[in-house]
Amino acid sequence: MALPASAVRAFEPPPQPERGAPARTTCPRRHSRVEAELAASRPGSVAASVRAGPPRGVSHGFHSRPLLEKPRKASSSLAGAACAPLFALLSRGRRRRMHVLRRRWDLGSLCRALLTRGLAALGHSLKHVLGAIFSKIFGPLASVGNMDEKSNKLLLALVTLFLFAVIVLQYVCPGTECQLLRLQAFSSPVPDPYRSEDESSARFVPRYNFTRSDLLRKVDFDIKGDVLIVFLHIQKTGGTTFRRHLVRNIQLEQPCECRVGQKKCTCHRPGKRETWLFSRFSTGWSCGLHADWTELTSCVPSVVDGKRASRLRPSRWRIFQILDAASKDKRGSPNTNAGANSPSSTKARNTSKSGKNFHYITILRDPVSRYLSEWRHVQRGATWKASLHVCDGRPPTSEELPSCYTGDDWSGCPLKEFMDCPYNLANNRQVRMLSDLTLVGCYNLSVMPEKQRNKVLLESAKSNLKHMAFFGLTEFQRKTQYLFEKTFNMNFISPFTQYNTTRASSVEINEEIQKRIEGLNFLDMELYSYAKDLFLQRYQFMRQKDHQEARRKRQEQRRFLKGRLLQTHFLSQGQGQSQNLNQNQSQNPNPNANQNLTQNLTQNLVQNLTQSSSQKENRESPKQNPGKEQNDSTSNGTNDYIGSVEKWR
């Protein structure tokens, strides 16, 4: 009876190390490694056959022969004897790790094989397709050399160039917005920003008749002189954004100094310690919080004349003193002062005792959107309690101007409660802040009937708005920027942005509530319609004037180039005739022929001199009468514009 192989090995003496082999060490891992190296060095051994395979503990794959282990039979002692020495060299923990690595390697090798084969097939097909394309495009070059090598090189060059362009584009313009703008610039022409920014129709039909002086707004603003820009800020009209543009986004010889964390900036004239802008962000609320037309026209001249080099903000009692003194100068009956709002009176109020000129500017907004925006602002806790509302030298009493709420603020009030208050200053706020309240007895409603009071306030607001140096509309940001730049001859650094989504636009109201808001602000609705018509007519008038000026410059350039060409032609012709004269004198010593040539030359010179003198006279004539030429050109532009307005009607 034969014993098993394992039992025979157990009774055998331990194997002796071969000659030249290192001695057995006490470390089992090192001893197993040494025995493995010796077994691998023997020719024909099992370890030598395994060495040609994958690394230790790793198999070839799912379909490799070492993994397809067939079920062992009981009588196959030779197979067990062949595999036993290999596994005997490893410890039990290494055997476990070997099985885990086999499983992982099989899955990873399968994925890598699939990926490499797929990429190889894709590359092969792409190579054939590109080779066919290049063979058709670069057919004549096929006879010069190997087409595959040239196509590969050309393809590599194109891919490299494309990658370089992408990297440069990402470095120069990392955002997607700039890339889209560049693609649009290549694909389609750039539209007119003044037409596309506000969604208004290109064909505007005027409703009101305005004169040339009403449409042409050109202020001789000298920042080094004594001209002062006064900004009238009406609540929730976008005035904060516009004032921020004035102090941070305008090109100046001496820019405004704005410190981090402070709303107030220092806007001094070049070489002087006095400001050129009277607004919240430059001088603070020097005439009170959100001062209206009545307060500003009475307060600004006195504040500017009373300020010294320190330019300190006056205190509250000082403001009352200034307004009281100004009201005493023009004290009179509000009903009998018929010419208080005439252009001459407004011009007188636009100057101070020191001779400084004041140019008032403001921003208007759609009344419904402005009303909803103010309601949302009041909901968040705004009160404007610090507003003085000073008129005729005194603030209104509690009976003249009652409050709509009893607590500290009106936060959380619903829209219905906001509309139900009859003393709410949000109703017709734009008309009230732009009109002269002294014409209607300030806030005393018993001076005249309500209908007459509303009519006087509306006419006063329209007149003041028309005679202002500039006004803009919140719904037309780019046009507002354009008109301001043309009016004051000042340029902004970056263009204005039109925000069509605001807090007011997020409020959803039905048609009934909208009609009620329009009824509460009926004076503002009529004023906004008037202001929008005047604003768009001014814009079209200035644009047409710019087009005429550009056309005139192009004509002058053509005339200048034509004169230069004629001058060079005459000079070259004269040089040629003189050369011919010299040759004729040397060849034909005939005095009659020479005399004819000299006569021709003198005639040409006389013609050239007469033409040059006539051109000089034409150039000097506009210098002698510049006003006449300017009046003629502007009158022609005005007549063309008014004629086009009549055609539109």
Q: Which residues are catalytic?
A: 290
What distance in Å separates the CA atoms of residue 432 and residue 530, rounded to the nearest whole number? 16
Single-letter amino acid, residue 552: R
Per the DSSP assignment, residues forming a β-bridge with 361 are 231, 470
Which secondary-structure segment (H or E) carries 122? Answer: helix 92-137
Q: How far is CA 631 from the centre of its chain?
A: 38
| Residue entry with tokens 């004897």 | 81
What distance in Å separates the CA atoms of residue 487 and residue 319, rounded to the nearest whole number? 31
3-state secondary structure of 266: strand
- Which of 430, 431, 420, 425 lies closest to 377, judged by CA? 425
Number of residues assigned to the chain = 649
Residue 236 tokens, joined: 């929730």
Within 10 angstroms of residue 52's Cβ, the number of other Cβ atoms is: 6
Burial class (CB in 10 A: 0-12, 13-18, 19+), 239: buried
Report CA-CA distances (Å) from 46 to 40, 78, 95, 237.
8, 12, 18, 92
Find the helix packing angle between 522-587 and 591-624, rounded to 10°: 160
- Which of 119, 45, 125 lies closest to 86, judged by CA? 45
Residue 471 tokens, joined: 């006004």
Which secondary-structure segment (H or E) carries 549? Answer: helix 522-587
